[in-house]
Amino acid sequence: MFEQNLQVAAQISEDLKTKVLVLCLQQMNSFLSRYKDEAQLYKEEHLRDRQRPHCYVQYMVAIINNCQTFKESIISLKRKYLRSAGEDGVSVSQPSMDGVLDAIADEGCRSLLEEVFLDLEQHLSELMTKKWLSGSNAVDIICVTVEDYFNDFAKIKKPYKKRLTAEAHRRVVVEYLRAVMAKRISFRSPEERKEGAERMVREAEQLRFLFRKLASGLGEEADGYCDTIMAVAEVIKLTDPSLLYLEVSTLVSKYPDIRDEHIGALLAMRGDASRDMKQTIIETLEQGPTQASPNYVPIFRDITVSGLNVAKLLK
């Protein structure tokens, strides 16, 4: 519709063409505000009943993709019908529209991830339990479920798919670490610690393989998320408790957003650190906080150790 009106206006005069373009962009701004509201209502309807609306995921993918299409169309119109970039202040409207479109797309991606993680809840709750230690296939199911959803997400356009994949990767690792910090299990012997740590490393490799596959062709490099699980496994696997301070110090230097309650939960999971040792490690590390590098992406800040567990950590 914009194109047709602009073609007619261009035949009359340059001035009218510019005014019509400004009017079109103003109407687009108004439309996008309503579009954002409708997308939110659509999501809320689905959360009330996950069976409705029909083809929810496919339509949400379309809503996300429309944002990129709108961006490209607006750029195309301005390139075709403007003589100069700053003509009559038309360019001023572009950043605000880009912001609204990104907000709609990002909310759509969050909605899709909510869908994924609703289906993962049961399997995430199995992690770091006795069932997990004895051979649970929870991570196998998590990987299959995520990959299945991402087959449905295959048509999401690249800029948004890249962000969606990176956030899914980060969140799966955060949920895995949250299970570690939940104190669902406390190892009772060096053999159990070794078995648990080795299982964590294998599962980190599973997740790494999955997300490398999902990120293929997107230019997304985020192996560091799974490295976090391996670093935590190193603390669990350590056989000599006298070296715990050194191992935990290394962990804190790599992940400066890790807090004393995380360290306490990790030591409680090991099951062999005395109360005095826990206290000494935590107090010493608190005295010399590590500065994060400019490129560091925080991962532990999203993980809360429940009040009940914190009260038990130093016992």
Burial of 15 (0-12, 13-18, 19+ CB in 10 A): exposed
Is 37 found in the same domain as 155? no
Q: Are residues 137 and 278 in the same domain?
A: yes
Taking the CA atoms of residue 247, residue 249, residue 254 and residue 258 in that order, the dihedral angle to the nearest 10 degrees is 110
pLDDT tens for 208-240 read 999 999 998 877 666 689 999 999 999 999 988
Chain length of the chain: 315
pLDDT at 92: 46
Q: Are residues 76 and 165 in the same domain?
A: no
Summarised one tens digit per residue, pLDDT across range 227-275 is 999 999 999 999 888 888 888 988 988 898 998 899 989 999 998 877 7
140 and 98, same domain (yes or no): no
Residues 36 and 78 in one domain: yes
pTM assigned to the model = 0.87
For residue 285, give the nearest of 253, 314, 315, 313 by alpha carbon: 253
Query: Does 195 share its domain with 68?
Result: no
CA distance 220 to 163: 9
The parent domain of residue 142 ranges over 127-303
Q: Are 183 and 268 a contacting pair, CB within 8 Å?
A: yes
Task: Assess if residue 227 is contained within a domain.
Answer: yes
Distance CA 246, CA 241 (A): 10
What was the pLDDT predicted at 310? Answer: 44
Rounded-to-integer distance, Cα 27 and Cα 39, Å? 18
Q: Are residues 34 and 72 in the same domain?
A: yes
In the numeric block, which tokens belong to residue 282? 């935590």
SS3 label, residue 142: helix
CA distance 108 to 161: 11
Cα atoms in the 13 Å half-sphere on the side-chain side of 41 = 6
Question: How many domains are there within the chain?
Answer: 2
Most distant pair of Cα atoms in the chain: their distance = 85
51 contact partners, CB below 8 Å, separation of at least 6: none
How many Å is the Cα radius of gyration of the chain?
Answer: 25
114 within a domain of the structure (yes/no):
yes
Whether 86 shows a pLDDT value over 60: the answer reads: no
User: What phi and psi values does residue 125 have, to the nearest 5 degrees?
Assistant: -70, -15
From residue 128, alpha-carbon distances to 21, 75, 147, 251 in Å are: 59, 50, 22, 20
